[in-house]
């Protein structure tokens, strides 16, 4: 098996495991996954919200908030797990595409 084949097998395994970030906190009643807190959760945990965080959170809107599709708020765990997998596939596709384009541009410059 080639190195590229092993890499893709590893990536597919990570895609399949991506819903664990949603399932484990739900199963253990731990709230959100570590580091994925919104500004309300940070304020609740710390008692304040850093001013820089407040201004940035108003400017930036995630393309897929909570790794889900628009209107999927409050869906069941299996639907949200599916959305996590789709989000992982979309992110990997974007990164792979950008990397391939940059690689093509750089190899043409050196040829």
pLDDT on residue 110: 67
Q: Which two tokens stand for residue 58?
A: 């108003």
Residues 93-107: what's their mean pLDDT?
95
- Nearest CA among 61, 67, 62 for reference residue 90: 67
pLDDT, tens digit, 9 for 90 and up, residues 28-78:
988 777 777 888 888 888 898 888 888 887 787 777 777 888 888 788 989
Q: Where are the domains of the chain?
A: 3-36+66-110
Judged by phi (left if over 0) then psi (alpha if -120 to 50, else beta), residue 94 lies in: alpha
DSSP assignment string, 76-110: -HHHHHHHHHHHHHHHHHHHHHHHHHHHHHHHHHH
pLDDT band at 111 (very low <50, low <70, confident <90, very high): low
- Nearest CA among 62, 71, 111 for reference residue 91: 62
Between CA 7 and CA 110 the distance in angstroms is: 26
């Amino acid at each position: 098996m080639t190195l590229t084949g092993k890499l893709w097998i590893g990536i597919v395994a990570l895609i399949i495991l991506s819903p664990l970030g949603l399932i484990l906190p739900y199963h253990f009643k731990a709230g959100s996954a570590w580091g994925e807190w919104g500004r309300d959760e940070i304020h609740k945990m710390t008692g304040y919200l850093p001013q820089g965080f407040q201004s940035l959170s108003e400017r930036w809107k995630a393309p897929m908030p909570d790794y889900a599709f628009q209107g999927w708020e409050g869906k069941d765990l299996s639907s949200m797990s599916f959305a996590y997998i789709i989000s992982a596939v979309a992110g990997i596709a974007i990164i792979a595409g950008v990397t391939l384009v940059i690689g093509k541009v750089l190899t043409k410059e050196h040829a």
